[in-house]
Amino acid sequence: MMLENETSALNYVVINFITADRKKIIDPLKIFKPIGEFYQVNKPRLDGYILTSYRGKLEGVMKEESEQVELIYEPLGKLIIQSGIDEENTEVRSFQISERANQVKMISLPKIQGSEDYYYVEGHGDERQIGKRVINPDNFLPDDPTSDVYLVKLTLEQLDELEKRWHAQEQPVEAKPEIVSVNAQTAKKAAKVASVQEISKVEKVKVTEFIQKPKEEMNMQLLEPTLLLCDAFEQVTHALVEFDKKNQLSQLQRKQLIKKASALLVAIEKLSK
What does 37-90 look like in DSSP terms, one character per residue?
SEEE------TTEEEEEEES-SEEE--SS-EEEEEEEEE--EEEEEESS-TTSE
Q: What is the layout of strands, in order, in the sheet containing 78-83?
A: 90-94, 78-83, 149-154, 117-122, 129-133
Q: Which of 111-115, 185-189, 267-271 has the lowest mean pLDDT?
A: 185-189
Q: Is residue 201 very low, low, confident or very high in pLDDT (cuts 50, 70, 90)?
A: very low
Question: Rounded distance, CA 269 to CA 183, Å?
Answer: 7
Question: Rounded distance, CA 109 to CA 83, Å?
Answer: 11
Residue 259 pLDDT more than 70? Answer: yes
Residue 181 pLDDT more than 50? Answer: no
Q: Is residue 238 very low, low, confident or very high in pLDDT (cuts 50, 70, 90)?
A: confident
**What local confidence, expressed as pLDDT, does residue 236 receive?**
75
Q: Is the pTM of this model over 0.75?
A: no
Calculate ∠ Cα 160-164-168, nearest 5°. 180
Residue 119 pLDDT more than 80? Answer: yes
Q: What is the mean pLDDT of the chain?
A: 78
CB neighbours of residue 136 within 10 Å: 11
* CATH superfamily of this structure's domain 8-75: Putative peptidoglycan bound protein (lpxtg motif) (3.10.20.320)
Q: What is the pLDDT of residues 2-20, one digit of tens each?
A: 344 544 789 999 999 999 9
3-state helix, strand, coil in the chain (%, to 5): 35, 25, 40
CA dist list (Å): 109 to 62, 159, 220: 47, 18, 60
Q: Where are the domains of the chain?
A: 8-75, 78-166, 182-271
78-166: CATH number: 2.40.240
Q: What is the pLDDT of residues 16-63, one digit of tens each?
A: 999 999 999 999 999 999 999 999 999 999 999 999 999 999 999 999
